Amino acid sequence: MHDQVIDSAEPAASCPACGRSGEPGELRVPLPSAETITTLGEARTAIDGLDAALAALLERRAAVAAVVQRLKPVGGFAGRDPARERQIVEAMAVRAPSLGPERLARIMTAVIETGLDAADARRPR
């Protein structure tokens, strides 16, 4: 049930739900379809697998966003780019139509601000 492959330049990560390895630099995750789930236990297992994948993606996203802060002329919260943030949300809304741009904007604002905060905490002083 490995429907999605996410490429990266890092070594292989195992599937958070079933432990199977992908190719080096890939995260392979099962994408359960909600229609086939009939019990609370199945639903929670599916959510746990999706959350494990989300955590791996959030960790990787934060690391990449920290690199962006070092590359930008003005990084961190001072270098916030609302147009870029809107572009990110619009692109995600195509893939997540049931959430839509307003809800995704709330999620991504939290993701982006958390990433900026983590990058700031990691920055050498």
Ligand X SMILES: O=C(O)C(=O)C[C@]1(C(=O)O)C=C[C@@H](O)C=C1
Residue type, 38: T
Which among 24-32, 44-52, 64-72, 92-100 is the span making contact with ligand X, rule CB under 6 A?
64-72
Q: Does residue 86 belong to the site contacting ligand X (CB under 6 A)?
A: no
Select from 81, 90, 117, 120 the one that contacts ligand X (CB under 6 A): 81
DSSP code string of 46-77: HHHHHHHHHHHHHHHHHHHHHHHHHHSSS-SG
Nearer to ligand X, 20 or 80 (CB): 80
Rule CB under 6 A: is residue 115 a binding residue for ligand X?
yes
Is 65 a binding residue for ligand X by CB under 6 A? The answer is yes
Which residues of the shown chain bind ligand X in the complex (CB under 6 A)? 65, 68-69, 72, 80-81, 84-85, 88, 112, 115-116
